[in-house]
Structure 1
Amino acid sequence: MNELLLNIALADDDEDDRMLFSEAIEDLDMRTKLSVFNHGQELMDYLNLPNIVLPNLIFLDLNMPIKNGKQCLVEIRKNPRLKDVCVAIYSTSSSEKDIEDTFLNGANIYIKKPNNYSKLLEVIEKVLQLNWQYHTSNLNKETFLFRL
Structure 2
Amino acid sequence: MNRQNYNLLLADDDEDDCAFFKEALDEIVVPADLVTVNDGVELMKFLAVNTLPDILFLDLNMPRKNGHECLTEIKQKEELKDLPVIIFSTSLDIEIVDKMYEKGATYYIRKPGDFSKLKKVIENALITASKNNFKQPARAEFILQP
What TM-score results when the alignment is normalised by the length of structure 1?
0.91
One-letter amino acid of the structure 2 residue matched with residue 72 of structure 1: C
Q: Is 1:87–1:107's contact at 8 Å kept on the other side of the alignment?
A: yes
Q: Of the candidates 46, 49, 68, which is equivalent to residue 70 of structure 1?
A: 68
C-alpha separation between the residues in 1 aligned to 2:2 and 2:135? Answer: 21
Provide the residue aligned with 1:15 in structure 2: 15
Are 1:44 and 2:44 counterparts? yes
SS at match of 1:28: coil
1:61 and 2:64 correspond: no
Residue 144 of structure 1 corresponds to which residue in structure 2?
142
Give the length in aligned residue pairs. 144
Task: Quote the residue 1:114 is aligned against.
Answer: 112
Query: TM-score, length-normalised on structure 2?
Result: 0.92
Q: 1:96 Cα deviation (Å)?
A: 1.3
**SS at 2:46's partner residue?**
helix
* Coordinate RMSD, CA, aligned: 1.5
Q: In the aligned structure 2, how far is the partner of 1:57 from the partner of 1:10?
A: 9
Alignment check: 8 A CA contact 1:70 1:102 kept = yes
Alignment of 1:93-104 (within 5 A): 93-104=91-102
CA contact (8 A) 1:41 1:67 kept: yes
Residue in structure 1 matched with residue 80 of structure 2 by the alignment: 82
Identity within the alignment, %: 41
CA contact under 8 A between 1:10 and 1:60: conserved in structure 2? yes
Gaps of 5+ in 2: none
Segment of structure 1 superposing worse, 11-20 or 23-32: 23-32
Report the secondary structure of 1:84's partner residue: coil
Separation in 2, partners of 1:75, 1:84: 12
**Contact 2:112/2:118, CA 8 A, preserved across alignment:** yes
| Match runs of 1:24-35 below 5 Å | 24-35=24-35
